[in-house]
């Protein structure tokens, strides 16, 4: 994903569209302006346990297919696996297939994978993570530039946390309905070019959303398995969904997780940009990035493997999200 800095031109567009979207977003934002519930209240609500071990196994399983680069067997096999997993946990599953034109002209067979839990519930939260792997280790030594990224952190980690949440939902019904969207072709962008060459799956979904009932807010996960994470709040999340960021970060703090930092992390292009701009759902990004360190050292390298994934970090993020869901 492009987690490069937002280009000036895109930022200008974002600022302009933010103003345009303000009216459309008002009902959702208004309904979410309540302060996060306090710890005492949290203790009185049954929040199912999130298993970091289980989440880690979902990382391993995805990586066993090989890099999930569009137009490969690994990609096709993993799409089937993810769909089957969501269905086994009780979701209504659909595959949104489309052809994405990459920046280099390659036509990519792409699939967004969608799981809907408790479709009858009118208050809904939507979760996103990209499931594809980048086709080039372009942040690595030159000999790796023609190698695809294993994408344990940058791809599999967010999906793994959401699969574990899906598993929890099989036996535990929250007050809210849950939509899970595994987005494709986030990471086939041009590192030296157009910001819009990234996030092709979210661009497609945001123009063709699947839902009947619009979710009140969204949470995107990206690179949530690093061993020393720094989860700041990026500029787009602040601009479009500050109240959601406050809700989630307050929950993290109440659980003792100092890795969720009350600081602006940077101006990032990620799938939430397009969900906010085109779909008009206030959506935050939980992503391991800081303005001083940048992305984790394994980012877009051949070292982005399960061996470098921290179960503790998966568990931290999963625990925060599980608490958010069951406190709604």
To the nearest whole angstrom, how small is the minimum distance from the Cβ of residue 160 to Zn ion?
Answer: 16
For the segment 237-256, give every residue that binds Zn ion (CB under 5 A).
none
Comparison of 154 and 184: residue with beta carbon closer to Zn ion: 154
The residue written with tokens 């934002």 in the block is 29
Task: Give residue number: closest CB to Zn ion.
Answer: 1
Whether the Cβ atoms of residue 42 and residue 148 lie closer than 8 Å to each other: no
The token duo for 60 is 């391993």
Residues 154-193: x where in contact with Zn ion by CB under 5 A, - otherwise, as a string: x--------------------------------x------
To the nearest whole angstrom, how small is the minimum distance from the Cβ of residue 100 to Zn ion?
Answer: 15
To the nearest whole angstrom, how small is the minimum distance from the Cβ of residue 189 to Zn ion?
Answer: 8
To the nearest whole angstrom, how small is the minimum distance from the Cβ of residue 155 to Zn ion?
Answer: 7
Residues in contact with Zn ion, counted by CB under 5 A, come to a total of 4
For the segment 118-157, give every residue that binds Zn ion (CB under 5 A).
134, 154
The residue written with tokens 């974002």 in the block is 14
Q: How far is CA 39 from CA 4, 43, 171, 226, 321, in A?
A: 36, 6, 24, 27, 15
CA-to-CA distance for 328 and 324, rounded, in angstroms?
6
Paired with 100 in beta bridges are: 108
Comparison of 137 and 166: residue with beta carbon closer to Zn ion: 137
Phi and psi, residue 114, nearest 5° = -125, 130
The residue written with tokens 């071990």 in the block is 53
To the nearest whole angstrom, how small is the minimum distance from the Cβ of residue 157 to Zn ion?
Answer: 11
150: buried, middle or exposed (CB in 10 Å: 19+, 13-18, 0-12)?
buried
Comparison of 85 and 298: residue with beta carbon closer to Zn ion: 298
Is residue 304 part of the contact set for Zn ion (CB under 5 A)? no
- List residues binding Zn ion (CB under 5 A): 1, 134, 154, 187
């Amino acid at each position: 994903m492009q987690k490069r800095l937002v280009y000036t031109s895109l930022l200008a567009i974002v600022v302009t569209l933010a103003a345009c979207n303000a009216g459309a977003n008002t009902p959702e934002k208004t309904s979410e302006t309540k302060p996060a519930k306090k710890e005492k209240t949290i203790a009185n609500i049954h929040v199912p346990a999130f298993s970091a071990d289980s989440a880690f196994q979902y990382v391993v399983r995805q990586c066993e297919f090989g890099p999930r680069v569009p137009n490969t067997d690994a990609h096709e096999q993993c799409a089937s696996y993810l769909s089957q997993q969501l269905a086994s946990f009780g979701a209504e599953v659909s595959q949104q297939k489309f052809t994405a034109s990459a920046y280099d002209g390659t036509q990519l067979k792409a699939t967004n994978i969608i799981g809907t839990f408790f479709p009858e519930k009118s208050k809904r939260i939507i979760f996103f993570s990209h499931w594809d792997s980048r086709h080039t280790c372009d942040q690595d030594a030159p000999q790796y530039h023609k190698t695809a990224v294993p994408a344990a952190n940058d791809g599999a980690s967010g999906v793994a946390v959401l699969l574990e949440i899906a598993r929890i939902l099989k036996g535990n019904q929250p007050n809210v309905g849950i939509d899970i969207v595994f987005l494709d072709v986030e990471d086939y962008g041009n590192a030296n070019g157009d910001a819009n060459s990234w996030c092709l799956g979210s661009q497609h979904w945001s123009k063709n959303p699947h839902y009947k009932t619009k979710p009140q807010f969204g949470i995107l996960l990206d690179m949530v398995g690093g061993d020393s994470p720094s989860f700041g709040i990026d500029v787009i999340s602040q601009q479009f969904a500050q109240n959601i960021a406050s809700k989630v970060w307050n929950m993290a703090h109440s659980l003792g997780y100092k890795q969720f930092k009350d600081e602006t992390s940077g101006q990032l292009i990620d799938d939430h940009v397009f969900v906010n701009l085109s779909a008009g759902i206030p959506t935050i990004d939980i992503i391991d990035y800081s303005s001083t360190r940048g992305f984790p050292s394994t980012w877009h390298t051949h070292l982005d493997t399960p061996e470098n994934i921290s179960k503790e970090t998966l568990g931290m993020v999963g625990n925060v999200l599980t608490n958010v869901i069951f406190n709604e």
